[in-house]
Amino acid sequence: MTEPLDLFGDTADAALPPDLDALAAQAAGCTRCELYQDTTQTVFGTGPREARMVMVGEQPGDQEDRQGAPFVGPAGRLLDEALDEAGVARDDAYVTNAVKHFNFRYQGKRRIHETPKAGHIKACRPWLDAELALVKPQVLVTLGATAGKALLGAKFRITSERGEPRPWNDLTLVPTIHPSAILRADPARGQDRDEMFAGFVADLRRAGELLAG
């Protein structure tokens, strides 16, 4: 088993790799939970070291697992569109996930997304903490309930708390929905895709307004 990074004690500075490339290389061999066994690769975050905003989703999907980068599928394209409409420069954002391996089940030959378990989130938490320690963003945006609970605790509720900035450690956290929720909008359940997208853009615009400089 790969040893977790000691980012919570007196040896934190010594444990932290010198840059994101070194951290990603270390995470590539992670075996801290069973998900690595059936996936293509560890999917680490991407974006500039000097990004002022970090966006945290749930986990990589099928395309992300195959390509080795987060948010490269339909949800990623929708995220890019929303960022553009919100006036947030894509170069200002580092994107990653709370869980770095794809959790799925087979349906025939298709790989169907499965929500990661608490143990998967706990196993990946040191990698996320290390990313945040290296990037040092001003604003942290959680995308979806899983990412929100990963950083705010099990009592977090996306429906009642989304879009509301709150202090988190030494930065500001803004929770919002995951773009995949917009793609799955179901009119039969009273979900309007255009309204959901507009709300998502509003949340991202609020987060962008918190960036200094």
What are the backbone angles phi and psi of residue 198, rounded to the nearest 5°? -60, -40
Q: CB 29: neighbour CB atoms within 10 A?
A: 9
**pLDDT tens by residue, 115-155:** 999 999 999 999 999 999 999 999 999 999 999 999 999 99
**pLDDT tens by residue, 175-206:** 999 999 999 999 999 999 999 999 999 999 99
- pLDDT-derived band at 14 (thresholds 50, 70, 90) equals low
The first and second tokens of residue 57, run together, are: 């989703």
Report the C-alpha gap between 33 and 205 in whole angstroms: 36
Identify whether the C-beta of residue 185 lies closer than 8 Å to the C-beta of residue 199: no
User: What's the whole-model pTM score?
Assistant: 0.91
- pLDDT-derived band at 10 (thresholds 50, 70, 90) equals very low
